[in-house]
Amino acid sequence: MRSLLAISILSFAGLVLPACAQNQARPELVKTAQGEVRGTVEDDAKVYRGIPFAAAPVASLRWKPPQPAAPWRGVRQVAEFGPSCPQGRIPASGGREANAIRGASSEDCLTLNIWAPVRSNKPLPVMVWIHGGAHRVGSGSAPFYDGSAFARDGVILVTFNYRLGLLGYFAHPALTAEAAANAPLANYGTMDQLAALRWVQANIAAFGGDPKNVTVFGESAGGVATLSLLTLPEAKGLFQKAIVESGDGWNMTPSLAEAERTGVAALAAAGVKPGATVEELRALPPETFASFKSGVGFGPIVDGRFLRQSTAQAFEAGNVIDVSLIIGFNSDEGSLMESFQMGSSAMLSSVPGAGLAALRAAYGERAPTDEALARRLFADGAFSAPARWIAGKSAGGAPSWLYRFDYVAERMRAQRSGARHGGEIPFVFDSWSAIPAIAQALTPEDKKMVSTIHGCWVSFAKTGTPVCPGAPAWPAYAPAAGTLLDFAATTTPRTGFDKPIYDVLERALLPRALGAAPRR
């Protein structure tokens, strides 16, 4: 399933062309720990783009934990997004992912963006978004991540960039030898995410935010990142709530030794000479590390220093930060198989023989062919069943809520068999304006779903309980009942949804994520 994770956490929404700032006014100055900034006023939001939250990870700081951003004198104008982090192109698939165009990229990319209401007389809840993109691509400035609707509804939104690919998730024997004992290794992208949350704690009050009411949320790789943060003791107190959209909790997280072997092989494939020193590696242009092959996966690494356990191991042992949690998945996560041209035989071979037979029986006529079964396995093995399991593991402390997103805008229903991976994002952000042709064709039913799920997320950020406008009450998850909220044409709670299938997948796939043999 490790190759499944590497592919499955790609988010189409992390790849859309960054929006251009439209300056309409000059808001008051804001004093941060590094210096004063001035953003713009756009409609009802104060917007601050491209604020450095850490020093540029270049030269001697490449493959090092993020360092504090340097202070500046005078007023820093923050009207434009910063560059995205270096990244490769997506494998050609004919889909939106392959044709996306990014703005400028640079290794000096550790910046964040803030949307805040123009008027407020009290500290406001804060939501911090972690973008998706398989830990390979994307940025915090994609148009679908526009925070205007959150600001309109009394929530401050923060988005940010983090290091990607071989610059963000990389281990090498030379780097290990260079590092001090117990110095964190390999997970530089995750370290950036932690640094962004620390910056929020130190500075968000100056923008009108409440540092004691922070919700971290992310989709795909951003969901995986959110789960990883929940396993880090260093993250305790940096956020009080979390939302995981389509994040895999059963990923086969490599050890440091495994990641070192992968790192050496990746450099060789990039044409780097064997035995290159750390100094020589840091002198290479970032483009050397930006490209990737479809079989190369990136993401968290158990280095034993910073990341001590995989997500599954930490949740199984209860070694996680206990916060209120929303977690869920979309109804057609299997659409990613098309994007990556993944064959059904490779997918089915990831399940042991006895487990595959049980899975065929559980799906029955719902997956009559190997192709249909592989698509369901891709979706349910990486997203649906892990989400249910994580919700159950979390339910014993602070409450958790499980959802399934099965809504497709009416104009797109003829081309969709369900809600594709990332399909919930423009509903969550109320950001369909990023695609004007669809925005102009939204029906009253579509707009109702925008109001429902966006309202859920806003109410959760404000109060810790999701109240969804126009939808029935969403019960907190309890393993005995197994109730999720199904966001669909008719949004409704559903009890025991696909329980026989998820039970089979849990027996077949979870043990390997925990480092054990599959249960029969």
- Tokens of residue 176, six digits: 């290990």
Q: Give the 3-state DSSP-derived string for 137-176, with helices as H, strands as E and coil as C.
A: CCCCCCHHHCCHHHHHCCCEEEEECCCCHHHHECCCHHHH
Among candidate residues 84, 220, 384, 459, the one labeled active-site is 220
Tokens 């499955």 locate to 8
Tell me the CA end-to-end span of the chain in Å, nearest whole number: 18
Cα torsion angle, 475, 476, 480, 482, sign: positive
**Is residue 256 within a helix (H) or strand (E), and if so which, with residue range?**
helix 256-269
Among candidate residues 42, 107, 333, 424, the one labeled active-site is 333
State the CB neighbour count (10 A cutoff) for residue 411: 14
Among candidate residues 135, 172, 421, 454, the one labeled active-site is 421
Query: From CA 342, how far away is CA 331, in angstroms rounded?
Result: 19
Query: From CA 179, how far away is CA 301, in angstroms rounded?
Result: 16
> Residue 283, class by beta-carbon neighbours within 10 Å (0-12 exposed, 13-18 middle, 19+ buried)?
exposed
Q: Is residue 64 within 8 Å of 107, Cβ to Cβ?
A: no
Query: From CA 154, how far away is CA 162, in angstroms rounded?
Result: 26
With CA atoms as reference, report the closest residue to 348 among 320, 333, 367, 329.
367
Half-sphere exposure of 141 (CA within 13 A, CB side): 29
Q: What are phi and psi of 462, to 5 degrees?
A: -80, -40
Query: From CA 257, how far away is CA 284, in angstroms rounded?
Result: 24
Query: From CA 140, how far away is CA 149, in angstroms rounded?
Result: 16
* Catalytic residue check, 107: no
- Tokens of residue 206, six digits: 């100056």
- Tokens of residue 496, six digits: 């025991």
Pairing of strands 124-130, 75-77: unpaired
* Catalytic residue check, 333: yes
* Catalytic residue check, 131: no
Which DSSP category does 187 fall into? Answer: B
Which residues are designated catalytic?
A: 220, 333, 421
